[in-house]
Amino acid sequence: MNKKVVLVGNQNVGKTSLFNLLSGANQKTGNYPGVTVSKKSGSFKIDHLSIELIDLPGIANLNPTSLDEELVLNYLLTEDLSDALVLFVASAIDLKNSLYLFSQVKDLGFSTALAINFEDQAVKKGIKIDTEKLSENLKCPVILFSARKNSGIKKIHELIKQDIPVKKLPVNYTKSEDQWENYQSFIKELNETNDKKLKRQEAILRHQAIEKWLKNAVTISKSDATDITSSLDKLFLHPFFGYVIFATILLLIFQSVFWIASFPMDWIDLGMGNLIEMSREALPKGMLSDLISDGLLTGIAGVVIFIPQIAILFFFFGLLEETGYMSRAVFLMDKVMEKVGMNGKSVVPLISSFACAVPSIMATRTIANQKERLITILVAPLITCSARIPVYTVIIYVIIPEESFLGFGLQGLMLFAMYLLGVITTFIAAWVFKKIIKTKYKKFFIIPMPDYLVPNFKNIGYNVWNNTKSFVLNAGKIIVAVTIIIFLLQSYGNQRYQQAEQIVLTDNSIPDEQKERAINKIKSENSYLAAIGQTIEPVIRPLGYDWKMGIGVLASIAAREVFVGTMLVVYGSEEDLEDEKYISQIFAKQTHARTGKKAYNFATGLSLLLFYAFSLQCMSTIAVTYKETQSLKWTAIQFIYMTGLAYIAALIAYQLLK
């Protein structure tokens, strides 16, 4: 036999924890058609009964003020749930608020049961719930459980096996008996007409009914409470120290992501490098071998190298969420972020952008308001990520002298200025998008404050696994494809490219030890990518770049850090690349292909710095933006506005300083 169970409830009531406990590893995560709001499905068995488990997004009520609420309402109204069990998950420490949505869902006419989570926390707070009395009042089975303690799960299994009759609540919140009898039609009409007076009447009557239901069923004894949450909140939500603590936590996370991720990233880098080298040696030389070694495997390496950062970052996010601290951080930052069109939940994605925009954009899934989430996605790549550091470092070494000002090195101050520029531009861009993007949903920032709890590492593990897998299987496909295209453009060229070895080997004026470098130089100047660079030179010339720099800019569309390596290939250098100052000397010696003057002067260098500060030279970010927005329009807008901003800033800088 088969049965469908649908989990419904508010946010932060442990609904996802229950879903994980029931379904285990048998989970699938997807999006609703045409949108990026996640829905989860799972399966498990109770005796001989096969259960399909659906976890709907957490919402506040069935009068939609967000896309999440609209989607849940549409699901409940259009899906055939006649033989299903709607298992409503509520919070024992905030039962009054949970019952508002519960009463709306039950009135839709489903077979409904109430599962109240945080039984252990209720005991600590001195909250006693008479489930029999509450069940009598609510006309449905009521049980207590604790997802964290894994207690009460057998009672939930017993609930699922039952055939629970449909019973209406004994209160009419509508204008007529007909509407009350068909609440589905009533709520459709209410949301279509947006009758505020009727909505207000319904809300008042529901809250009055909830007070009666709870009066004899729930008691609170302060003398029995052992709660420390209130004491901790005095510190964590303090108008001054709260921000200091939050900044310190983020700084520690930020540093940990860099430090911890560096070890596995180095291992992955080394392992993939060895694999690529082994493939070169094992496969017969030819186009297919080069494509596999330098195209496909290189593209895969560009995907898996991100895994440690993504996994570690989502581990820390899960840790903050599971302990209950994330809600406090979001509450603290909401007023600040609201001024530029975002909300408190935008803070963590923006901070994580300093490491990488890819996990940053994925982290916006916690933002329910779609306008605020979209704005955060669109501006997050403006924050200076670690991929810009190689470009910044080399250029700054070339154009800024090793001198000090007020005890601070000029090169270090320049690097700090580039980081600060990214932050300022991010907030300006967010403010502009706030004025441009329209939404039918008003901003209602309501966030429950759960108790501080010991984290459930199993839930954190599921979160890390699902998000990492999502990146590898979805964004990874696009990254690998683009990398192969870039490889093909760099690896093949015109007739002179094909004759490069013959030209160099028959030229006795070239010393034997320099012949390989000379071959590479001819190939790089006559590849199809070089032809594109020469074609676009009129466009980049006003920025101070020659066609060789144009190749670097084009190649780094795949990833910003590609610029340095590409330019070294173009300049024909095969020296030790570990010493960045030495690399800078190679750049410093270059002359402009058209003018013959110094290629990297202050004007050109600053132009490049500004271009890379603002441009979206990162296919990983583009791929993830499309994945998260499911919109070619907004993906294109992000790329175009950042590229346009980069071009204009670089143009102004060069023309003023040349």
Model confidence band, residue 30 (pLDDT cutoffs 50, 70, 90): low
- Distance, CA of 313 to CA of 208 (rounded, Å): 44
Using alpha carbons, select from 48, 55, 169 the residue that is nearest to residue 112.
Answer: 169
**85-91/111-117 β-pairing:** parallel
* Whole-number pLDDT of residue 116: 95
The percentage of the chain sitting over the pLDDT mark of 90, rounded to a whole number, equals 21
* Whole-number pLDDT of residue 576: 42
- Distance, CA of 200 to CA of 196 (rounded, Å): 6
- Give the count of beta carbons closer than 10 Å to the beta carbon of residue 419: 16
Model confidence band, residue 582 (pLDDT cutoffs 50, 70, 90): low
Q: Tens digits of per-residue pLDDT, 240-294?
A: 888 888 877 866 775 666 577 778 877 887 887 788 778 878 888 777 777 777 6
Say which residue, 226 or 313, is predicted with more confidence: 313
Q: Tens digits of per-residue pLDDT, 32-46?
A: 444 445 678 889 999
* Whole-number pLDDT of residue 35: 46
Mean of the pLDDT values across residues 207-224?
A: 80
* Whole-number pLDDT of residue 385: 79
Say which residue, 175 or 331, is predicted with more confidence: 331
Using alpha carbons, select from 268, 264, 310 the residue that is nearest to residue 475.
Answer: 310
* Whole-number pLDDT of residue 131: 93
Using alpha carbons, select from 233, 9, 226 the residue that is nearest to residue 120.
Answer: 226
Per DSSP, the residues of 368-395 read: -SHHHHHHHHHHGGGS--GGGHHHHHHH
Model confidence band, residue 486 (pLDDT cutoffs 50, 70, 90): low
Q: Are 164 and 176 in contact (CB under 8 A)?
A: no
> Interhelix angle for 325-338 vs 307-323, to 10°?
100
Q: Tens digits of per-residue pLDDT, 76-96?
A: 999 999 899 999 999 998 898
Whether the pLDDT of residue 646 is over 90: the answer is yes
Q: Are 319 and 455 in contact (CB under 8 A)?
A: yes
Would you call 268 helix, strand, or coil by DSSP? helix
* Whole-number pLDDT of residue 577: 42
* Whole-number pLDDT of residue 471: 65
Longest dimension (CA), the chain: 101
Spell out the residues 6+ positions from residue 177 whose beta carbon is closer than 8 angstroms to its own: none
Q: Please provide the average confidence, as pLDDT, over all residues in the chain.
A: 80
Model confidence band, residue 227 (pLDDT cutoffs 50, 70, 90): low
Range among 101-110, 477-486, 517-526 with highest mean pLDDT value:
101-110
* Whole-number pLDDT of residue 573: 42
Q: How far is CA 547 from CA 392, 537, 604, in A?
A: 20, 5, 13
* Whole-number pLDDT of residue 441: 54
Range among 62-66, 114-118, 485-489, 512-516 with highest mean pLDDT value:
114-118
Using alpha carbons, select from 518, 527, 550, 526 the residue that is nearest to residue 537.
Answer: 550
- Distance, CA of 456 to CA of 149 (rounded, Å): 9
Model confidence band, residue 52 (pLDDT cutoffs 50, 70, 90): very high
Domains and CATH numbers, the chain: 2-225 (3.40.50.300)
Amino acid letter at 425?
A: T
